[in-house]
Structure 1
Amino acid sequence: MKSLIRLAAVAALATLTLTTLASDSSALAIGEVAPQTDVALQNVDGKSLTLANVAGKKGTLVVFTCNACPFAKAWESRVAKLGNQALGQGIGVIAINSNDPSVNAEDSYAQMQSRAKTLGLKFPYVVDAHSNLARAFGATRTPEVFLFDAAGKLVYHGAIDDNSRDAKAVKEPYLRNAVAAVASNKAVTLAETKSIGCSIKFHEKSSD
């Protein structure tokens, strides 16, 4: 009987592990191109745009983030600074909120508009109204970044840096290094890191 219980526990653990691996592996792979680049997204200025609209000559930075997550809040000033600087380096930038605002009102459109103004964002902060873009990218966390090169291929995916709590204590500025490489037409030496943050609060899938 004990052997059967042990086998059941092992099977359950294996299933959980496979589920986790499947979830992790669903993310866009290095070298792949961005999906759904022609889908219209509402920006905080009230206008609609697409990923194709914001693509830069040197590359494109896509940041899945939100207003409510403590990790997103901890990194938001760094994201704003890096994003604004990247624009000047020929890299298009877009921040995307895929969270369902019914889960937390802090992720409402009005709150997004306020946050963008407070942070001084020079790049779009858009609504992923049905979380379809996050699903297409395989994004699961906020914040989670995807950086594409001039050819439109993914060259970096993961975290902003190695310290969400203290910007002054950062030892590995992953995204800054990757942006610098792309802006200089050089290879990104560290292509993937683990995204640390809150789970995306996905909208329910449409029944259509």
Structure 2
Amino acid sequence: MEQIGTPVGSYAPDFELPGIDKHVHHLSRYLEKWRGIGVIFISNNCPYVLSYVDRLKKIQSQFHDQNFTLIGINSDKISCSQENCLENMKKFARDKQLNFPYLWDSTQEVAQSFGAQKTLSSFLIDQLGIVFYKGCIDDNSQQPAAVKQPYLQRAIAAPTNRAAIAL
């Protein structure tokens, strides 16, 4: 399928996806409630995701009281079959104690609409639905203690900064 992508400064594509909580989630509903939203494409088995889970939980905890939420979206068609994906996602979320919504993009259409080409592709969306950040979470995927550039956290903390960091 052709990669579509959403550039910084454009409206984020709305979505309607099932979550592990048995509800259907719409980006438009999140925009009604939250000042900012971080969409992060994750999967249950990616080693990079596993190294970032605690950092994502920390980001969610750090900014939740500032009317911000992360949303994890799994668009991994390789490790998820129709029959077991949501159950595996529920187990992953429970085992890792995720503190943010975890949704399933079974057709990969949402990932393609955003232009997410790999796990941990990160997008920040303001309350108007405009993508104001597209980039990396930070500068060190292996060692959380060695992070020097917490890109995502800086972008969340300064939502008036509408510059993308393309890494």
Which TM-score band (shorter chain)? Answer: 0.7 to 0.9
User: How many residues are treated as equivalent by the alignment?
Assistant: 163
Give the conservation status (yes or no) of the 8 Å contact 1:63–1:95: yes
Q: Separation in 1 of the partners of 2:27 and 2:102?
A: 12
Q: 2:26 aligns with which of 46, 50, 67?
A: 50
Q: Separation in 2 of the partners of 1:154 and 1:60?
A: 9
Q: Separation in 2 of the partners of 1:179 and 1:129?
A: 28
Q: Separation in 2 of the partners of 1:158 and 1:147?
A: 9
Q: Separation in 2 of the partners of 1:131 and 1:84?
A: 28
2:51 alignment counterpart: 74
3-state secondary structure, aligned to 2:122 = strand
3-state secondary structure, aligned to 1:164 = coil
Q: Kindly tell me: are residues 193 and 110 of structure 1, through their superposed partners in 2, closer, same or farther at Cα, counting changes over 3 Å?
A: same
Q: Does 1:87 align with 2:60?
A: no
Q: CA deviation at 1:105?
A: 5.0
3-state secondary structure, aligned to 1:122 = coil
Q: Kindly tell me: are residues 167 and 64 of structure 1, through their superposed partners in 2, closer, same or farther at Cα, counting changes over 3 Å?
A: same
Greater C-alpha Rg: 1
Structure 2 unaligned regions, length at least 5: none
CA shift digits 1:162-192 (9 cap, x unpaired) = 001000000000001011112xxx325x522
Q: Separation in 2 of the partners of 1:126 and 1:57?
A: 17
Q: CA deviation at 1:83?
A: 2.2
Q: Separation in 2 of the partners of 1:28 and 1:179?
A: 18
Give the conservation status (yes or no) of the 8 Å contact 1:80–1:119: no
3-state secondary structure, aligned to 2:128 = coil
Q: CA deviation at 1:76?
A: 1.5
Overall identity of the aligned pairs, in %: 33
Q: Separation in 2 of the partners of 1:149 and 1:130?
A: 25
2:157 alignment counterpart: 180
Q: CA deviation at 1:146?
A: 0.3
Give the conservation status (yes or no) of the 8 Å contact 1:54–1:93: no
Q: 2:6 aligns with which of 18, 21, 28?
A: 28
Higher relative contact order (CA 8 A, sep 6+): 2
Q: 2:75 aligns with which of 56, 75, 98?
A: 98
1:134 alignment counterpart: 111
Q: CA deviation at 1:65?
A: 0.9
> Structure 1-normalised TM-score?
0.71
> Structure 2-normalised TM-score?
0.87
Q: 2:17 aligns with which of 41, 65, 87?
A: 41
Structure 1 unaligned regions, length at least 5: 1-21, 195-208
2:120 alignment counterpart: 143
**Divergent runs of 4+, >6 A:** none
Q: Kindly tell me: are residues 171 and 30 of structure 1, through their superposed partners in 2, closer, same or farther at Cα, counting changes over 3 Å?
A: same
1:125 alignment counterpart: 102
